[in-house]
Amino acid sequence: MSKNTRYKSHQPDETGLVNWSAEENKIWSALLQKQWGLLEGRACDEYLHGLELLNLPSDRIPQLAEINSVLIKETGWQVKQVPSLINFDDFFRLLANKEFPVATFIRSNEEFEYLQEPDIFHEIFGHCPLLTNPAFAHFTHTYGKLGYAACKEDRAFLARLYWFTVEFGLVNTPDGTRIYGGGVLSSPGETIHAVESNDCVHMPMQPLDALRTPYRIDIMQPIYYVLKSFDSLFDIAEMDIMALVSQAKKLGLFAPRFLPKEKQSS
């Protein structure tokens, strides 16, 4: 989780609505249009079905109440407005309560292709379609409960599992490898990179391996873990994940597949 951001969430008014500017709605529309054109043959069917259920508006940023009306009906989840960045305690607590955090800001045109921070397009377009799916919803809920009870050191390992599933996960399907991770599906550049680039590798999802794999948030990913099937998320949720965390701590991290981040000169 990034500690600094230049973005600031909008506060809802007394009726619970966020008043988005015309420019912000225009960025949403442009992102939606571009991503729609990239989904065919790349996004998994479960995600596409959830996208149909949400029926997102193309000309404006949706209000959170519109999203909740669908999620509550399908899986009992809802979205919750949060500041631009929240701490891990708040993050895990929300997930444990079946509330998905959504920061009410949208990226600038300068960061159109990829944004480190989770903006509203990332959360709504990237994640919310799959929160209509029972397997994904169950996995995310289980993850939240485990994370909320975990110590700081264990949370760092859990963050890697989340990264390589919820954020940057791929899945095998009868039609080939497809994307389900919201970090990929909300990024025009990463959507193509994840399934078509020769500069990354696909590995079978083994939760213990994912727990031991370093990542960087500011680059196109060099490695993706691929589920056998989408319902494998149910199987992972039923594993003794904290026992796997203990095993990962003993084994240590794999060597990173990326160069260290260069320090910014002051």
Residues belonging to the binding site for Fe cation are: 122, 127, 167
**pTM for the full model?**
0.93
Binding-site residues sit at 122, 127, 167
Per-residue pLDDT tens digits of the chain, which is 266 residues long? 445 678 999 999 999 899 999 999 999 999 999 999 999 999 999 999 999 999 999 999 999 999 999 999 999 999 999 987 899 999 999 999 999 999 999 999 988 887 788 999 999 999 999 999 999 999 999 999 999 999 999 999 999 999 999 999 999 999 999 999 999 999 988 999 999 999 999 999 999 999 999 999 989 999 999 999 999 999 999 999 999 999 999 999 999 999 888 754 44
- CATH architecture assignment, domain 22-251: Orthogonal Bundle (1.10)
DSSP state of 125: I
The ranges assigned to domains in the chain are 22-251
How far is Cα 206 from Cα 204, in angstroms, rounded to an integer?
6
Q: Which two tokens stand for residue 175?
A: 């039609």
Buried b (16+ CB within 10 A) or exposed e, 133-165: bebbbbbbbbbbebbbebeeebbebbbbbbbbb
